[in-house]
Every structure is written in C-alpha cells, then in structure tokens.
Amino acid sequence: MNVTSLPTVDPSAVAPPLDGVRVLDFTHIVAGPFCTRILADLGAEVLHVETQTRTVGVGVHLDRRDVRVDRSKESITLNLKHEAGQAVASRLATVADVIVENFSSGVMRRLKLDYESLEPFNPGLIYVSMSGFGHTGPRRNWTSMNMNLQGYSGLMLVTGAEGDPPTSVSNSWNDFIGGLHADFAILQALVERRRDGRGGYMDLSQAECSVATLGPLVLSSAVNHQDPRRMGNRSSSIAPQGCYPCAGEDEWCAVSVQNDEQWSALTQAIGSLALANDPRFTSVEGRLRFHDEIDEQIGAWTGDLSKEEAQARLSALGVSAERVRRADGVVNADDAGHVFSPLLVPGASKPDLAAGLPFSLGISETLAPKPPAPIGHDTRMALAEWIGLTDAEIDELETAGALA
C-alpha cells in the first residue's frame, strides 16, 4: 500500500475530529473500552470485536450491555480461535486506521493479530497495546486490575493521613487514566502519520500512566530519599482545610480557607470570638501549626448542622466550602451532573446515565453517547462495508462457526 492510498479523515473543520477514522477494538474490561468510547465520541467508527464463545468472567458479560464500556460502538462477533475468524480479523485490520487491544502479553501474537503480523498489509496502521505493565521488562507478564494499579502506582500510600492504611478510590480510576493516555497518544499519532503515511506500534503501560500522574512525588522521593508526608485532607500552604462531619450518618462538608479574610469569615460563621482573637491563628503559618485544634472547633460546629446548611452558611460569608455529595447529590443538583444524559440500554427497564465529553470544541462537532449495540449487531454490516464480503460469503463463515 502506498501513502496516498492510506485512509484519510474528512477535511472539514465542522466534522468531528475523528470523522472517517476506523478503529478496530479488541479491548475488554474497562481501560481499553473507555479509551475507544472516547474515540467514538470524537467521531471515530469503532468496531468492537466480541465473541459469543468466551466463558463468562471479569469484564465479560454476554447477558447485558454496559453503557460505560459498550456504548457508541458497533459490535461484531468473531471466533478468534477459529482459523477463518482470525482471517476475517486480519482482513478487517488491513482497512483499520487504529487497533487498540489490552490483552496480556502474547495473546495477540498467538492469534496472528500482533503488529508485526499486520503491518506488512497495512503500513499506515496505528496499533496500541495497553496492558498493565507493557510488553517489555521484567514484569511484563504480571497481570493487574484497577485496584492493583492503585496500589502499585503509589496512589494508595499518598492518599490518606500519616499512619492510615492504604487508601483507595472506590472506582476504576486507573482504567480511566490509562484509557485517556491512550486517547492522547492516538490523536498525536494520527497527526504524525499524516507526515509520512506510516503508522507504528505503541506499547502503553497502564502502570506508567498511573505513576506519571504522581510524577512529582516520585521525583521528589528519588532526590530526597524519603517519602512525602501523607497530607490527608490538608494543604501544605493554606489552612484550615478539611472534611468535617455534619449531622446525619456519613455526612460531611469540605472546607478550604484560602486566605486570612476567609479565616476571619469562618470564625464569624462559627461565632467563636476565641478563635477570631487567638493570635496563634492570625497567620497561615500559625493555622498550619495548630491545625488539629482548629479542626476540633470546626468539627464541633458542623456536627450540629446538615451539610447543606454548613455549606450555605460558609458560602454566604465567602468561605470556600462544599458539601460532600454522593451520586444522588450530583445528578439531582442544579449545579452539577450536566455531563450526564439518560441512555436506554436495550432490554433495560429504566434509562442509565452516560457521561459525554467534558469539553466542547468551538467548531468541530463531538458526538453524544449512543446506546450500546446488541452483541454482534453489526457483524454483517462490517463484513460487507469494511472488507466487501458478499452475503453468501458471510453465510459460509457463519455456518463454519467463525462468527460466533
């Protein structure tokens, strides 16, 4: 294939950035599917390769579709253990702009779907592997999941206060971080491909993505030979800052006093002349030093108030404060949750909520979330439109079990 015959994207500034870009998606669980769904939001045609033959396990769910990982994509089923199924996948790869996969080391090579096998037939192919630790190095064969990477990356031991056990965030944080790094890399690679017409291979390590987000602390530890202090909810430069208990079970209000004026306002809100007049607290240095004592006083005051009331009283006086919201407090509020829109999953009784992109492009369109396609919904379309198979050829593959 020569350079001029490479697939190109639509040269209209109004079209979505990835309009005309074909993504062949071999991802599963969360990190990879999150990456490719963002590409779909940016206008790419994402063909998710799935199978009916895989046993049920983590991240494999034949009986239901998940808005968060399956939405906005086309779905094709291929039996990659079947020679003809593999051959079809290889042919689809010849007309793809981008392949994304997040299998463990060696899987795609065994299926003859690794970059080296595909590149001779599609030199413009941009191929992204996004395994836990990358496909090189002494830990290339380690398996990982989100929680492991929260631990490995250092996140769990920089979150929380000194002496706390490891502290996680209770969602797939590292999957999102890895997926977004892959998106950034793919967007950059598409521009570089325009210079020379050639694609290439990118071996992304999800662990590296997570560690990078803590790069400053890794660097300081390398120089200082000691771990940074775990700050909990406090700041190194302003005080007081914390998350204070409010009336009710597991109800809290975050407060972050940005300057001396806000401190004065806080003491007014609390109605504490003792705090206001204590010379130890007039400077931020003093407030940092006597933070525990101040926290007790704030906590005693917030403890009698609802979190809404605490926030309202503080905000009215110009103190930075925000109630700790749970999911209901995000979606049922006027000032939050606008990035979500209802999306009805086929077969579900009530709509789910799907997040769109948290940014807008002034000219180029981006796409709102679309409901997940039923598994295999686009198999015939893709085989016909991507690689020109006839109905008879598709029937033959189906009969042979290659499309299961």
Applying the rule CB under 8 A, the residues between 195 and 234 that interact with another protein are 195-196, 200-205, 207-209, 211-228, 230-233
Q: Which is nearer to another protein, 245 or 376 (CB)?
A: 245
> Tokens 């005051």 belong to which residue?
301
* Three-state SS at 354: strand
Q: Which is nearer to another protein, 5 or 224 (CB)?
A: 224
Q: Which is nearer to another protein, 42 or 394 (CB)?
A: 42
Q: Which is nearer to another protein, 82 or 181 (CB)?
A: 181
Decide if residue 116 touches another protein (CB under 8 A). Answer: yes
Decide if residue 312 touches another protein (CB under 8 A). Answer: no
Contact in structure between 19 and 43 (CB atoms under 8 Å): yes
Contact in structure between 211 and 154 (CB atoms under 8 Å): yes
Among 24, 46, 155, 382, binds another protein (CB under 8 A): 155
Q: Which is nearer to another protein, 360 or 399 (CB)?
A: 360
Shortest CB 291 distance to another protein, Å: 14
Among 4, 5, 55, 170, binds another protein (CB under 8 A): 170
Decide if residue 180 touches another protein (CB under 8 A). Answer: yes
Going residue by residue from 126 to 145, which x/- string records binding to another protein, judged by CB under 8 A? Answer: -------xxxxxxxxxxxxx
Decide if residue 108 touches another protein (CB under 8 A). Answer: no
Among 55, 292, 347, 350, binds another protein (CB under 8 A): 350
Number of residues that bind another protein (CB under 8 A): 144
State the Cα–Cα distance between residues 246 and 241, nearest whole angstrom: 15
CB count within 10 Å of CB 67 equals 21
CA torsion through residues 187, 192, 195, 196, sign: negative
Interface residues for another protein in 13-52 (CB under 8 A)? 13, 17-18, 38, 42
Q: Which is nearer to another protein, 94 or 258 (CB)?
A: 258
Q: Which is nearer to another protein, 322 or 396 (CB)?
A: 322
DSSP bridge pairs for 75:
48
The DSSP symbol for 3 reads G
Shortest CB 179 distance to another protein, Å: 10
Torsion of CA 245, 250, 253, 254, to 10 degrees: 100
Kindly state the tokens that stand for 197.
């017409």
Decide if residue 309 touches another protein (CB under 8 A). Answer: no
Residues in the chain: 404
Q: Which is nearer to another protein, 75 or 256 (CB)?
A: 256
Shortest CB 207 distance to another protein, Å: 7
Report how far apart the first and last C-alpha atoms of the chain are (Å, whole number).
Answer: 31
Interface residues for another protein in 244-283 (CB under 8 A)? 245, 250, 252-254, 256, 258
State the Cα–Cα distance between residues 111 and 105, nearest whole angstrom: 12
* DSSP string over 187-241: HHHHHHHHHHS--EEEEEEHHHHHHHTTHHHHHHHHHHSSPPPPBTT--SSSS-E
Decide if residue 334 touches another protein (CB under 8 A). Answer: no
Interface residues for another protein in 44-103 (CB under 8 A)? 57-58, 67-68
Decide if residue 354 touches another protein (CB under 8 A). Answer: yes
Instruction: Find the radius of gyration of the CA atoms of the chain.
Output: 26
Kindly state the tokens that stand for 148.
């492991």
State the Cα–Cα distance between residues 225 and 223, nearest whole angstrom: 6
